[in-house]
Amino acid sequence: MPSPFKTRVAQALADSDLRTSQARASSRLQRWRNASFDELETPWPDLQAAAAASRRAALDDLPRLLQQLEARLVQRGVEVVWAEDGAAAFRYIAALATARGLDTALRSRSPLAEEIGLNPALAEAGIQVTNTNFGDYILQLAEDRSSHPHFPALHQSAADVANLFERKLDMPKTLDPQAMGSMARFRLRRELPRHGMMIGQVALAAADNGMLVLVSDAGEDRIAASLARIQVLLMGIDQVAATVDEALFLAQMASRSAAGQDMPGAVTMLSGPARAGDPDGPGELHLVIVDNGRSALLATPFRDALACIGCGACHNVCPVTREIGGQAYGDGYTGPIGAVLAPLIARAPTKSRRPTRDTVPPVTAAGIPLLDPTAADLPLASTLCGACADVCPVGIDLPEMLRSLREARLAAGRPGLVDNTVRAAFRWATSNPANYHRAHGWLQRRLTGSIAPPLRAWRDGRDLPTPADKLFRDRWAERNRP
Ligand code: SF4
């Protein structure tokens, strides 16, 4: 029985509409990204090296930077809360809403909220959350999940959204993205004032002056943040920069890498609740700093993955993600960085993450438990071509991490029948020239012809070149024959 991941991959590969819209969107984003960096005077390698150095220095100095940040924020009246895991974060937010007599909240784009399963957890506690990010709003209407860290509804085509809006918003059908966007904005903005709590995510916090930098593509998040009396911001323990200049530089790198924008659509900088005499700002500001497995990762070879600034550029260039889309990866983490983080970060159990009989059991990679064994197959979704590392604005060596996670999976002793068969066959074929000859003949016949079912599944999932008619050795011998 295939693993849940392989089943999702097979479904994605069978969906030609999804593959077409995914490929189009990824190519467009990649073009915009390239053009945006090409126009700068500073060469890309220098920018990448500067961003990488900033993130690594912050990870090296994390305890001090976090303490400095906390001290600055507490001074200005921010309630700073440390959450060991998603459950602790959720309990705090639910208790806060209940204490303030609120049963609704708004939520802006927050991969961290997705990681800890915040919306469903709050719904179970009787608190209904409305997503304000346009992509998240579409997904909420469609009861769907995100496929990209920056553009959560990337997998939805214009036709999908038109049908959805006709069904759920009673909107006359149109494929005009502007008209659809205006209608959604109109509905959403009408709702914003009735919510007392806004939940958002810090893109990066600056330790030097305690500034919390929030970014969004459109103004909804910003309007909601200005209207809501209580603002709750989530941040991972890794999302801190030493200075505000570094935080803004990294936010620029992320927006250029995501969609070629020189700055995000909207940048909000918050340093505390509104003071007496301030014209606007939240009445209460709560910062929930979430660990959820990150501090354990810091002491491992995978620590660099925490340098990620969530731009999604690795998704847009990955030849595998471009084919299968982000949703095939499961809930929350997607793309090459998702394939690294998903097995290593503890997440809320959901139906699709419940271990099955065929789930690879928890294993250890360099002493790290794979916290989410249902995601242990995700590192297989890569050609290890290195394109993700080339475009990553903070230079994370994703291919090397994916390779290590594959090793960990093999060490768990559950590579699967097909993997074992293919490896054994390769060993046999390369053990001596006679076997190599036989294997060549067999491959020539079988790569296009009939083949037993387990190997057929392996073959059909790959683009394998047809072997040459003759081995190089034979052609060489013929050529040099007197
Ligand atoms: S790993 Fe790099 S390219 Fe991928 S989302 Fe993170 S920062 Fe962007």
pLDDT at residue 96, as a whole number: 96
- Select from 196, 19, 222, 209 the least CA-distant residue to 97: 196
Q: Would the CB of 401 count as within 6 Å of ligand 1? A: no
Strands 368-369 and 364-365: antiparallel
- C-alpha to C-alpha distance for 302 and 343, rounded to whole angstroms: 11
**Atom 4 in ligand 1: residue holding the nearest Cα:** 314
Q: Do residues 113 and 292 make contact, with C-beta atoms less than 8 angstroms apart? A: no
pLDDT at residue 437, as a whole number: 85
Q: Would the CB of 392 count as within 6 Å of ligand 1? A: yes
- C-alpha to C-alpha distance for 399 and 422, rounded to whole angstroms: 22
Q: What is the gyration radius of the CA atoms in the chain, in angstroms?
A: 25
Q: Do residues 47 and 393 make contact, with C-beta atoms less than 8 angstroms apart? A: yes
Q: Would the CB of 311 count as within 6 Å of ligand 1? A: yes
**Atom 8 in ligand 1: residue holding the nearest Cα:** 311
CA of 176 to the centre of ligand 1 (A): 31
Compute CA 69 distance to the chain's CA centroid, rounded to the nearest angstrom.
26
pLDDT at residue 348, as a whole number: 42
The three-class DSSP label of residue 443 is helix
> How does residue 58 score in pLDDT terms, banded at 50, 70 and 90?
very high
**Atom 3 in ligand 1: residue holding the nearest Cα:** 392
CA of 395 to the centre of ligand 1 (A): 8
- C-alpha to C-alpha distance for 149 and 158, rounded to whole angstroms: 19
Atom of ligand 1 nearest to the CA of 395: 2
158: how many CB neighbours lie within 10 A of its CB? Answer: 13
- Higher-pLDDT residue of 474, 242: 242
Q: Would the CB of 206 count as within 6 Å of ligand 1? A: no
23-234+258-290 has CATH 3.40.50.300 classification: no
- What are the residue boundaries of the structural domains of the chain, listed by start? 4-11+297-411, 23-234+258-290, 418-479
> Which residue do the tokens 């699967």 mark?
416
Atom of ligand 1 nearest to the CA of 388: 3
Percent residues over pLDDT 90 in the chain: 50
Q: Do residues 154 and 322 make contact, with C-beta atoms less than 8 angstroms apart? A: no
Pick from 44, 297, 311 the residue to mutate for probing ligand 1's pocket: most ligand atoms within 8 Å of its CB.
311
Burial bucket for residue 254 (CB in 10 Å: 0-12, 13-18, 19+): buried
CA of 348 to the centre of ligand 1 (A): 23
Q: Would the CB of 338 count as within 6 Å of ligand 1? A: no
4-11+297-411 has CATH 1.20.81 classification: no
Model confidence pLDDT, tens digit, residues 155-209:
888 889 999 999 988 888 888 888 888 888 888 888 888 889 999 999 999 999 9
CA of 308 to the centre of ligand 1 (A): 5
Q: Do residues 308 and 342 make contact, with C-beta atoms less than 8 angstroms apart? A: no
For the cut 80, the answer to whether the pLDDT of residue 224 exceeds it is no
The three-class DSSP label of residue 204 is strand
**CA distance from start to end of the chain:** 56
The tokens of 225 are what? 């943040």
Q: Do residues 326 and 145 make contact, with C-beta atoms less than 8 angstroms apart? A: no
The tokens of 350 are what? 């959901």
CA of 267 to the centre of ligand 1 (A): 20
CA of 396 to the centre of ligand 1 (A): 7
pLDDT at residue 457, as a whole number: 67
The CA-based dihedral angle spanning residues 119, 347, 85, 274, taken in that order and rounded to the nearest 10 degrees: -40
Model confidence pLDDT, tens digit, residues 261-306:
988 888 889 999 988 888 878 899 999 999 988 988 888 889 999 9
CA of 149 to the centre of ligand 1 (A): 9
- C-alpha to C-alpha distance for 389 and 407, rounded to whole angstroms: 19
Task: Please provide the average confidence, as pLDDT, over all residues in the chain.
Answer: 86
> Which residue do the tokens 């099955």 mark?
356
Average pLDDT over residues 443-448: 70
Model confidence pLDDT, tens digit, residues 347-397:
444 444 333 434 433 444 445 555 566 788 899 899 999 999 999 999 999
